[in-house]
Structures are given as C-alpha cells and as structure tokens.
Amino acid sequence: MAVAADLLRAIGEEQPAAAPASAFAAGWCAHAQEARTADWRRIEKSLKSLEPFWR
C-alpha cells in the first residue's frame, strides 16, 4: 500500500489532470494501510494470549 501511494503521488505530480484521481486513490491506500495495522494489532494480541501446545 505504501508503494502504491507513492506511485500515485508521483503520477499526480507528473500529470496535473490526473492529480484529483491519484490523490483520491492515495488517500484510499492510506486508509487501507491503517485498517490493516489495526487488524494486525488485534491478531497479534490474540496470538500472544495462546498457550504453547507443547506444555
């Protein structure tokens, strides 16, 4: 997502006509990246609460 956002920003800078669409898509990438971070924190918390199976 971070790479896609960087590429979209570059497109917006190079092609002014595409700037609004690339800014929208870059914003969506940032939102999706934050959501995945939140999901990972939830998953990490649940994994830490598991007991090892060999005990």
Span 9-36, pLDDT tens digits: 899 899 999 999 998 998 888 888 777 7
pLDDT over threshold 70, residue 55: no
Question: How far, in Å, CA of 12 to CA of 20, rounded?
Answer: 7
Question: pLDDT at position 53, please?
Answer: 76
Question: pLDDT at position 29, please?
Answer: 84
Closest by Cα among 34, 37, 22 to 6: 22
The Cβ of residue 29 has, within 10 Å, a number of other Cβ atoms equal to: 19
